[in-house]
Structure 1
Amino acid sequence: MTDATMIEAVGLTRRFGGFTAVKDVSARFERGKITSVIGPNGAGKSTFFNMLSGSLKPSNGRILFEGQDITGLAQHRFAPLGIAKSFQITSVFPQLSVLENVRLASQALVSRYDFWTPRARLEGLREIALGLLSEVGLEARADGVAGTLAHGEQRALEVTMALASRPRLLLLDEPTAGMSPEETVAMMALIRKLASERTIILVEHKMKLVMGVSDAIVVLHHGELIAAGTPDEIRGNEQVKRVYLGERQH
């Protein structure tokens, strides 16, 4: 691992009974870059992504974060290390305000390591939450009910909640799933903005977004790594064209 590498997968394998979903995948993700993980349905993207985020333990292989072996570490220990994940399915609290959603995410992190202080006395959480909402452009919706937000805004709110832990590495699982073209453009702009201060890994199906936003791309097929490189290198890779880019995209 070099200083430029933030997180590295070394021979990652994941088996479910007799089925191998990911087989011996090694890949490096550089600090300060946006890297997309792509591949056809059933390629093993989600399984690989879930191992990187700590929600799934590998059957074999290692995960190194800034040189530290974090293989098999309990998922709740990832946030203190500087790793956060936004899920494919929106998981906001729809009955609470936008601000309360972010404040609760911040409070969970503060109170987890401060057992003796009453939560009502924890200071600065509102200001922290407003700052995060400002970062993603949702400050004007702070007092609105989260459940009334448009789908794209709810996804942006969920990303904001992931930012509450101040991660250096942000993992985004299909951040534009279900979005309109206009919402997708807004999310692309947000991802680029967030990448100015942190490393981002995302799983995404929309190739226009992937090619437009990524610094690097990792391609999986049948659970194996078949290519890794810049968008231009991936565009020109004949094997990738055969197994993925040649497929009809939505």
Structure 2
Amino acid sequence: MTAPIMSVADVGKQFGGLVALKGVTTEFGEGQITAIIGPNGAGKSTFFNILSGALRPSSGVLKFRGDDMAGVPQHEYVHRGIARSYQITNIFPNLSVQENVRVAAQAFRSRMNIWSDRTAYHEVDEKAAATLASVGLSGRSATLAKFLAHGQQRALEIAIALVADPALLLLDEPTAGMGPEETREMVTLIEKLAADRTILLVEHKMKMILGLSDRVLVLHHGQLLADGTPKEIQANTEVRRVYLGQNDGYA
């Protein structure tokens, strides 16, 4: 494995009497695409939310580039170099594509000054344009976000996360609700983005995961069941028993 960008040690999460995650210890190599999979109720969403700062672990330690993240508020994660997308598309539907990204860029780079003329923010406009180009949406910059196809809305949400230039990008079911063609386009985008950053994703489409990822983590009943390359995961009898036997693919 390459040098870890993030590590967790004995991480657990309880909600009252419910143990959602128990004793998970692992590292995420810098520059890799790592997928987190598992059956429903396995603890994937809980683990993902802990990694992105949306939830605090009940026990254990989370480190990013060697720094303990205990006590770091979620809004500070993006300034540390961690950004995420959401399972349910999270955009401003009545703003244009360019305005969605520009608002995010402006919020990240500077405090709002009500006395500044909009034309003073050239750097922000340039950043928004470059980010849209990186996800293939330059030609739709003037379109209201609500009129984009579903796959384009997902790409826009990723663009919003990218304005912070994250070293670690977490994608929550990036192909949810997509058909085969949109899924292939998203896979191509993720592969392109992975050239410059580390990517963690939660997904259900096994054919996509096994073809895209450098490494796969399998959770089951809140615990880490397996950790390895796609080939190792495919050959793992216990993983096949609890998960890979389910019918899935690019559809």
State TM-score, norm by structure 1. 0.96
Give distance in 2, aligned partners of 1:72 and 1:235. 38
Distance 1:28 1:91, change over 3 A: same
Give the C-alpha shift of residue 101 in structure 1.
0.4
Aligned residue number for residue 166 of structure 2: 167
Instruction: State whether residues 54 and 72 of structure 1, in contact with CA within 8 Å, keep that contact through their aligned partners in structure 2.
Output: no
Mapping of 1:72-91 within 5 angstroms? Answer: 72-91=71-90
Cα offset for 1:27?
1.2
Aligned Cα RMSD in Å? 1.6
- TM-score normalised to structure 2 length: 0.95
User: Partner residue of 2:45?
Assistant: 46
Contact 2:94 2:145 in 1 (8 A): yes
For structure 1, list consecutive stretches of 5 or more residues without a partner in the other structure.
Answer: none
1:237 aligned partner: 236
> Relative to 1, partners in 2 of residues 1:15 and 1:95: Cα closer, same or farther, differing over 3 Å?
same
In the aligned structure 1, how far is the partner of 2:197 from the partner of 2:107? Answer: 22
**Residues in 2 aligned to 1:59 and 1:105: alpha-carbon distance in whole angstroms:** 31
Which whole-Å CA distance do the structure 1 matches of 2:6 and 2:243 have between them? 25
Q: CA offsets, 1:32-68, max 9 Å, x none? A: 0000000000000000000000000000001110111
Paired position in structure 2 for 1:15: 14
Query: SS of 1:20's equivalent?
Result: strand
- In the alignment, what sits opposite 1:66? 65
| Percent of aligned pairs sharing the same letter | 53
Distance 2:2 2:77 in 1: 20
Q: Structure 1 residues 119, 4: closer, same or farther in 2, change over 3 A? A: farther
Deviations 1:172-195 (A, max 9, x none): 000000011100000000000000
- Code of the residue aligned with 1:136 in structure 2: it is V
Q: Distance in 2 between matches of 1:10 and 1:117?
A: 48
Deviation at 1:246, TM superposition (A): 1.1
- Give the deviation of 1:130 after TM superposition: 0.6
Q: How does 1:1-250 map to 2 (within 5 A)?
A: 4-112=3-111, 118=116, 120=118, 121-249=120-248
Counterpart CA distance in 2 for 1:218 and 1:119 is 48
Aligned structure 1 segments of 4 or more residues deviating by more than 4 angstroms:
114-117
Alignment: residue pair count: 248
